[in-house]
Structure 1
Amino acid sequence: MVYNNLFQALEKIDQAATEEASNTKYGFNIFSILRRDDEEVGLHSKFLAELLSPTGSHGMDAFQKLFIDQVVNVAFKNKDEKRLPLCLNQPYTCQTEVAITNSGRIDIILKNNENIIVVENKINAYDQRAQLQRYYEACRNMNYEPENIYILYLNKYGDPVSTYSKGNLKDSDFAQISYKEDVANWLDACIIEAKPYPHIEHTLLQYRRLVGKLTGDTRSAKMKQAHIELLYQKDNFKLAHELSESLVSFQIDLQKKLWQELQEVLKKKGYDFNFCDENLQLCDRNKKIKNYYKPQKPSRKYGIQCKIGSLEEYDINCFIQVYKNVYFGMISSREGRPIGYPSSLNNLATQIGSLNIPIVGNTKEWALGGDLKPTQPIQFDKIKSLYKIANNNDRAQWIEQTTDEIVSFIESVKSLGLIDVQSATNTSHNTV
C-alpha cells in the first residue's frame, strides 16, 4: 500500500506536468520547426558555435567563459599534469565546419594565440578512421603545443570514442563530454546569465528543451523540484531507494523476456532463431544477460540468429544482435563460425546494401551490405530507452513491429535470388 501511495503521487505530478506543458504550448520549438532535431551540422554545431563566439549575435562573452569553466576545464581536470585550467579572461575566436588539409572538417574550433579547443560533435554520425588523431595532428601543424590542445568528443550520452576513431591518441590527449550532462548543465547556466535579456533567454530555453528531447530528459525544472519535495515526505525517500536497488534485477528480467518473446514471434512467422554469442555458438542466455550489467562489462555482443540460406560454401545468416543498440543484418559463416565475408560475396553485399531499406552502416568485417536498427531503437544500457518495452502491451507492440521489419528484410534478401534458400535449416536448439 505504501508503494502504491508513492506511485499515485508521482502519477499526479506527471499528469500536472503534462497538462502544463500542453497549456503553455511548450511543444512550440523554432529549432524543431526549421531543422531535424538531430541535425548535427546545420542545427547543433551551428547554434553551439554561435553561443560560443564572443562576437555572436547575442553580444555576450559569458557563454564562452561558462563553457571554458564548466565544460572544458572540468573535462580535462586530472587528465594531464602539464595542463593548467584555462584562463576565463582570454577570449577565443570561434568557427564551425573548419576545413583542415588532409584531415576533413572540424565541427567547432575555439582558438587564441596560446590554446586551441576542438569539438567533434557526434549525434548520429559514425566514427571516422583516426579522426581525433588527424585533428590533433592538424593542431600540431598549426604550431600548438600538446599541452595547449584540447580535443572534446561530444555525443548524446558521453559514450566512449572508439579505438578506430581516436587512432594513436592517448586517453589524456582528449576528453569525452555529453549533451545529456555537460551541454545541458552549461545551457542551464547560460539561461540564468541571459535572464536580463528575455529574447536570448527564451531562445536558450527552447534549445535546452530540444537537448532534453534529444537525450530523453524531458522533465522540466518544476517537475524535478516536485519530485524532490515528494521524496522529503514521510518514508518516500526510503521507499524510492529500496525500489532503485531492484532496478538492475528488473532490467535483467526485462531483457530475458524481450529475447524470448522475439524468438517466439519470429518462429510463428516462419523463422526459428537460436540464442547465441557473437561467434554464433549456443550459449547460456541467463549468464550472458546477467553479465551485460556487470561493471567490468565482459563481452556484450550476443543475440539470436537464423540460417537463411547459402551461397557457394558459405552460410548466410540473419543475426539480431545487441551491443549498445539492438540491430540486425546478414552475416556469412563457414562451419558454424562467422567470417569476414570474402570477395566472392561482394555482389550479394552490394545488392543487400542497395535495397530500399534504412541500412545504417557498412562493415565489411561483419554485416553483408550493412546493418539496420529497428524503427524504434532499443538500448539496454539506457534506462529511458526501456520505457517503450517495460509495459507488457507496449512490448508486444514493439516486438510485432520489429519482427515485421526483420521478416521484411529477410524476404527482401531472399528475393534477390542470389542465395540458395533451400539449404536453410530451421532446426530449433535449446539454450540454457
Structure 2
Amino acid sequence: METIMNENNQQQKEVEMGKLQQLLNDVYEATKGIKQGEKEPFNVFELCIATRETRHSQFLAELLNPHGAHGLGPAFLKVFYEQAGLKDFHLEGCSIRTEVVCSEGKMDIVISNEKDIVVIENKINAEDQPDQLKRYSEWLNEQKEANKKLIYLTLDGHEASNAKDIDYQRISYRNDILKWLDKCIAEIFKNSFFAKDNKTNPFAKSKIDERNAFVKKLLLQYKELIQKLTGMDMEPEMKNKISEVITSNEENYLTAALTAKAFDGIHQGIIQEIAVACRPEGMQYDVNHCANVGFASFAYVNPGKQYKLFFEFQKGNYKELCYGLHTTAERPPNFLDIEISFKCIKDMGLTFQKGDKGEPCYRPNRYGWFFAIEASKDFRDWDAESFADRWKNRKLSFQEIKKEYEKEIKNYIGILNKIINDKENQGKF
C-alpha cells in the first residue's frame, strides 16, 4: 500500500511539474518578441535621490505640504489621507515638517494642526533602530492633539522590528505610495480642467498649465524610481501578455501563484549560496534578506575585530551591489581616514566611485562604499533578469554563472582585506 501511495505522489509531482513547464513555455512564447522599452534618459530622482531616505522624506513632505511649490493646496495631502485611511483627520491649518528633533530621536515627517498629528517614519534601506517606534509612540501620546497616528513607511510594507504592542500603521511604497502618486496626477488633471473651465485670464491659465505640466513630470519620474526600487518596472505590453497567459485558465493561474510564492525563496537561496561559498577562512557569515523589495545584504564578520566586510544592494530586487567596511564597535574607530584605502585601490589599477555621488561616505559606522566601475559593471545587478541574460547571451550553465559571481565577490574581498592590512600596519585598526 505504501509503495502504491509513493508512486501516486510521484506521478502527481510529475503532472504538476509538467504544468509548470508548459506555463513557462507559454509565457516565453507570448513575450519573446517584446523588448523592454527605454525609460526617460534623464531622471532627476535617480541622480539625486535614489535610496537616500532624507531626500525621499523631503520630497514627500513637499508634496504633502498645502503651501508647497506644487501650487495645488491640500489636494495631495487629501488623497494621501484617503489612501492611508485617515478618515477623521483634517486638512485645515496643516504644517509639514521634516527631520523633527525630539528627545526620542529625529522623526522623518510630521504633519500637524490643532486637531491632528501624524508622524511618518520613512525606511528605504535602513533598519529601524532599537525601540525606535516605541519612543516615537511615547512622544506622540504626549502631544495635545486629539487625533494621533504613527505611520511606518517601507518599500514593501513589512513590520517594524521590536514594535510589539505599539499602535502604528504600516504602508508601503510598492502599494500605497504608487497609488497615491496616481491620485496626485489625477488631481493635477482636475486642477488643469477647472482652470480652463473657470473664466481665468489667459495668462493665468498658461502659468497654471506650465506649473502643472512640470509637477506631473516630476511625479511620473518619481513614480518610475519607486517602481524600480520595488521591482515593478515591467513594460505594460510584457505585463499584459503574461497576464493573458496566466489568466487563460484555472490551472495556469494556480501554477503561477505557486511559482511566484516559491521564486523569491529560490533566488534568495542562490544568492546565499554564492555568498557562503565566498566566506573567507576564519570569518563568520551573516545575511539579511528582505524579499526582493527591501534592501538585502550579506557580511563576513571577523570575531574579535571591530569591523566586517559588508555587501549591500542599494536598490530593491537585488540591484546595484556596493561594498565596503562596516564597524561593529559601539564607538567607531577613525573610519574617516580614507586616503590609504583610495591609494590602495589606485595601486591595484582600478577606478572607483566613492559613496553615491563620487564622494567619500562619512556615515559614522561605515568606511567607504565602493562601486567598482571597470571591475564590477557586469556584476552590479543580481536580479533574476541579470542572471537570465547572462545565461542566454553568454551560453553559460547556471553553475558557471554562479562561479563568475563568486569570483567577483572574492575579488572585492581581496580589495577590502588589502585595505584592512594596510590600515592595521599603520595602527589605524
- Identical counterparts, % of pairs: 24
Letter in 2 for 1:191: I
Looking at structure 2, the residues matched to 210 and 250 of structure 1 have their Cα atoms a distance apart, in angstroms, of: 24
Alignment partner of 2:177 out of 183, 204, 209: 183
Partner of 1:45 in structure 2?
Answer: 57
Q: Does 1:329 align with 2:336?
A: no
Looking at structure 2, the residues matched to 398 and 30 of structure 1 have their Cα atoms a distance apart, in angstroms, of: 31
So what's the TM-score if we normalise by structure 1? 0.61
Partner of 1:201 in structure 2?
Answer: 216
Note the C-alpha offset of 1:117: 0.5
Letter in 2 for 1:27: P
Partner of 2:97 in structure 1?
Answer: 96
Looking at structure 2, the residues matched to 209 and 245 of structure 1 have their Cα atoms a distance apart, in angstroms, of: 28
Looking at structure 2, the residues matched to 350 and 256 of structure 1 have their Cα atoms a distance apart, in angstroms, of: 25
Looking at structure 1, the residues matched to 113 and 154 of structure 2 have their Cα atoms a distance apart, in angstroms, of: 25
Alignment partner of 1:404 out of 401, 411, 425: 411
Q: Does 1:110 align with 2:111?
A: yes
Does the 8 Å CA contact 2:51/2:125 hold for their aligned counterparts?
yes
Note the C-alpha offset of 1:180: 1.1
Partner of 2:46 in structure 1?
Answer: 32
Does the 8 Å CA contact 1:103/1:138 hold for their aligned counterparts?
yes
C-alpha spacing 1:257/1:56, structure 2 compared with 1 (3 Å): closer
Segments of 5+ residues of structure 2 without an aligned counterpart are 1-20, 193-211, 291-295, 311-322, 336-364, 373-381, 392-397
Does the 8 Å CA contact 1:187/1:208 hold for their aligned counterparts?
yes
Does the 8 Å CA contact 1:45/1:107 hold for their aligned counterparts?
yes
Partner of 1:217 in structure 2?
Answer: 232
Render the CA deviation track for 1:89-120: whole Å, top value 9, x for unaligned.
54352323243342333211111212110111
Partner of 1:313 in structure 2?
Answer: none
Q: Secondary structure at the match of 1:109?
A: strand
So what's the TM-score if we normalise by structure 2? 0.61
Does the 8 Å CA contact 2:75/2:187 hold for their aligned counterparts?
yes
Q: Secondary structure at the match of 1:359?
A: strand
Q: Secondary structure at the match of 2:157?
A: coil
Q: Secondary structure at the match of 1:55?
A: coil
RMSD: 3.8
What does residue range 11-410 of structure 1 map to in structure 2 within 5 Å?
A: 11-13=32-34, 15=35, 18=36, 21-22=37-38, 26-33=40-47, 35-41=48-54, 43-60=55-72, 61-73=74-86, 85-87=87-89, 90-91=91-92, 93-145=94-146, 148-163=147-162, 166=163, 170-171=165-166, 173-196=167-190, 197=192, 198-199=212-213, 200-221=215-236, 223-231=238-246, 235=249, 238-247=251-260, 266=278, 306-307=281-282, 317-324=283-290, 325-332=296-303, 345=304, 348-349=305-306, 358-360=324-326, 362=328, 385-389=383-387, 391=391, 392=398, 394-410=401-417
Does the 8 Å CA contact 2:306/2:327 hold for their aligned counterparts?
no
Does the 8 Å CA contact 1:71/1:186 hold for their aligned counterparts?
no
Render the CA deviation track for 1:189-241: whole Å, top value 9, x for unaligned.
222222254513222111111111222211255654454445455x5x63353
C-alpha spacing 1:111/1:72, structure 2 compared with 1 (3 Å): farther
Does the 8 Å CA contact 1:51/1:58 hold for their aligned counterparts?
yes
Does the 8 Å CA contact 1:328/1:371 hold for their aligned counterparts?
no
Looking at structure 1, the residues matched to 308 and 297 of structure 2 have their Cα atoms a distance apart, in angstroms, of: 23
Q: Secondary structure at the match of 2:107?
A: strand
Looking at structure 2, the residues matched to 195 and 39 of structure 1 have their Cα atoms a distance apart, in angstroms, of: 30
Letter in 1 for 2:306: A
Segments of 5+ residues of structure 1 without an aligned counterpart are 74-84, 267-272, 274-304, 308-316, 333-344, 377-383, 419-432
Equivalent pairs, count: 314
C-alpha spacing 1:108/1:238, structure 2 compared with 1 (3 Å): same
Note the C-alpha offset of 1:154: 1.1
Q: Secondary structure at the match of 2:106?
A: strand
Does the 8 Å CA contact 1:329/1:371 hold for their aligned counterparts?
no
Letter in 2 for 1:400: K
Letter in 2 for 1:397: E
Looking at structure 1, the residues matched to 49 and 91 of structure 2 have their Cα atoms a distance apart, in angstroms, of: 35
Looking at structure 1, the residues matched to 92 and 402 of structure 2 have their Cα atoms a distance apart, in angstroms, of: 51
Note the C-alpha offset of 1:374: 10
Render the CA deviation track for 1:2-29: whole Å, top value 9, x for unaligned.
542431212334x1xx2xx33xx52332
Does the 8 Å CA contact 2:178/2:223 hold for their aligned counterparts?
yes
Note the C-alpha offset of 1:179: 0.9
Does the 8 Å CA contact 1:195/1:201 hold for their aligned counterparts?
no
Does the 8 Å CA contact 2:274/2:402 hold for their aligned counterparts?
no
C-alpha spacing 1:245/1:207, structure 2 compared with 1 (3 Å): same
C-alpha spacing 1:361/1:375, structure 2 compared with 1 (3 Å): farther
Note the C-alpha offset of 1:48: 0.8
